[in-house]
Structure 1
Amino acid sequence: MSPAVAQDPQQLPWDPHCITFPARKDLPRLSGAPDGAAWVWGKDDQLGRLNLLTPQRVKGAAAEIQTGEMVRLDLPLDVPEKPAFDRETFQHTIKTLVPDMAYDDTYSLNTQSGTQWDGFRHFSNIPSKTFYNGAKSTDFVGDTANTHSCSIHHWANHGIAGRGILLDYRYYAITHNKPYDPYSPHAITFAGLQSCATWQGINLRPESEGGDIRVGDILLIRSGFVERYAAATRSHDDLAFAGLARDSAIRDWLHDSYFAAVAGDSPTFEMWPVPDHDYLHQDLLALWGCPIGEMWDLETLAEKCRRRGKWTFFMISAPANMPGGVGSHANATVIL
């Protein structure tokens, strides 16, 4: 039986196989949920927007593979040398099992010290202190903690694979005489993204409106952090990074495009610092169930996309299968 073409906002749970979905302004009001919550995939849903990565969409995304060339999107585990937000530095030691014959190695790490996924346990809706689909901090820590609610292992068991789309805002800005320092609170506005996309030959409207954004796409935005880090390593004591602005146009577009996940090359994805606790993180993670990737290495991918003149590709990511996990290194690869 074919799914409905358009999802009725009030018909819960929503069918991820639908072709079009409600706009942010048309989200249903959910009893006991914060305003703007899109907890629409079922009472015990743990996947959020990853539900949109249906077998049909993954199979369709495989059509993006043209050459079979692979591009890894993870930085080395010890980059950055000094992680932001006072996170622990990565530690690697080699253990001798039998001298001259056999060795192991051990890692000590914060899963969000480098290239990462922010899981649903990472950030709440601040006014309600509620995480995605109604989870509370007491589900994560303390006497009533469990390994089920909002755990990263659900993503690992489902899998993350689909069509990726790159907006190379950094290269666009430099070539259009709009230079900025990625280590500064430079706001990437929706108008800026539209100009970048137009230069790349991409229409940022959803496919249902005649644009190039498909339901379930994985959005990647290059803001220049990795390029800047490679040019001059520095500490992150001042915590200022370029990233997405937080105006209503950005929020509406991120929501209404129905990305399965979003990721960028900066440590925060959104512009940092954030005034008045107006975090995109709480919209994406807690309200909409949309994974956020940070510090992804988009340098080689951007170069190859520019050379090809093609900005979409097949990509896959394997989060850690850790019951109760908050986040994970991305373990992400693009296949061109």
Structure 2
Amino acid sequence: MGNFYNGTKGSDIIGPSANNKCSIHHWAENGIAGRAVLLDYRAYAHSKGIVYDSFERHAITYAELAACGKAQGIDIRPAAQGGDIQIGDILLIRSGWKETYDSKTPEQRSAAGLRHGDGNDGQRWTGVAQEEEILDWLHDSYFAAVGGDAPAFEAWPTQKTWHVHEYILALWGMPLGEMLDLEKLAQKCRERGRWTFFFTSAPANCPGKWSAWARQGSNC
């Protein structure tokens, strides 16, 4: 098995030699706070006649995110390249997963969560594409954290031999938020015509744990 961020091994996580290396409680000590940028891809897709089901695999490319940002008045390139993204910004992407979830019956939601087969875990979700342009952008922008409303952030399942998760978590040690409720935030941003805001997250203070609910808040 390979290593995680900062050379963390599986034996550091579970077993008799387990320790708190890379544990979620390190983030909980000070929390996560900073300027965030919301890219409302769902609204952009609707405006362009792009139809997709968030409960199915739909890959959002860098080119589409750049066009989405432009429609919102944001140049998603890093500031060093002439864009609006500042070092330490927090990226949030609304794919419309929560909107789709709310439109489903309890039976439909349960059926989606219990999908199996196809040589993988059976799940299929909308998210960012597994492409070099996405990786270069995420890396060069020096985001402090990224997140979205979908269960996997990236399009699932991957159609490559790698996952965006591997770069975000294991290589860069970047916080990754999933299943964030961005509906009211997106509405407020649209009303104000402003897509940057103050964002906070208080992960659970659980030594030895490797993921937790985000407990996020935002102020436009």
| TM-score relative to the length of structure 2 | 0.92
RMSD: 1.0
- The residue that corresponds to 2:14 in the other structure is 141
- The residue that corresponds to 2:155 in the other structure is 271
- The residue that corresponds to 2:88 in the other structure is 216
Q: Once the two structures are superposed, what CA deviation does each residue of 1:86-125 show, in whole Å capped at 9, x if it has no partner?
A: xxxxxxxxxxxxxxxxxxxxxxxxxxxxxxxxxxxxxxxx
- Alignment pair present for 1:315 and 2:199: yes
- The residue that corresponds to 1:247 in the other structure is 131
Deviation, 1:313, is: 0.1
One-letter amino acid matched to 1:256: D
Deviation, 1:290, is: 0.8
Partners of 2:145 and 2:174 within 8 A in 1: yes
**Aligned with 1:168 (options 20, 25, 40):** 40
Output the CA distance in 2 between the equivalents of 1:285 and 1:278: 13
- The residue that corresponds to 2:4 in the other structure is 131
- Alignment pair present for 1:302 and 2:179: no
Output the CA distance in 2 between the equivalents of 1:129 and 1:266: 26
Output the CA distance in 2 between the equivalents of 1:221 and 1:290: 16
- The residue that corresponds to 1:85 in the other structure is none
One-letter amino acid matched to 2:87: V
Please state which structure has a larger fraction of its residues in helix. Answer: 2
Correspondences of 1:17-96 after superposition (within 5 Å): none
SS of 1:329's partner is coil
One-letter amino acid matched to 2:13: F
Q: What is the total number of aligned residue pairs between the two structures?
A: 208
Deviation, 1:276, is: 4.7
- The residue that corresponds to 2:173 in the other structure is 289
Percent of aligned pairs sharing the same letter: 54
Structure 1: which 4+ aligned runs deviate by more than 3 Å? none
- The residue that corresponds to 1:182 in the other structure is 54
SS of 1:327's partner is coil
Using the TM superposition, name which of 228-237 and 239-248 deviates more: 228-237
Output the CA distance in 2 between the equivalents of 1:252 and 1:203: 16
- Alignment pair present for 1:199 and 2:71: yes
Deviation, 1:266, is: 0.4
- Alignment pair present for 1:237 and 2:109: no
Output the CA distance in 2 between the equivalents of 1:312 and 1:277: 34
| TM-score relative to the length of structure 1 | 0.61
One-letter amino acid matched to 2:179: M
- The residue that corresponds to 1:110 in the other structure is none
Consecutive unaligned residues in structure 1, runs of 5 or more: 1-127
Output the CA distance in 1 between the equivalents of 2:24 and 2:185: 26
Deviation, 1:209, is: 2.1
Larger radius of gyration: 1
SS of 1:296's partner is coil
Q: Once the two structures are superposed, what CA deviation does each residue of 1:185-228 show, in whole Å capped at 9, x if it has no partner?
A: 10000000011001000001111222110000010000011000
One-letter amino acid matched to 2:51: P
Partners of 2:130 and 2:159 within 8 A in 1: no
Consecutive unaligned residues in structure 2, runs of 5 or more: 116-122
Output the CA distance in 2 between the equivalents of 1:228 and 1:159: 30
SS of 1:275's partner is coil
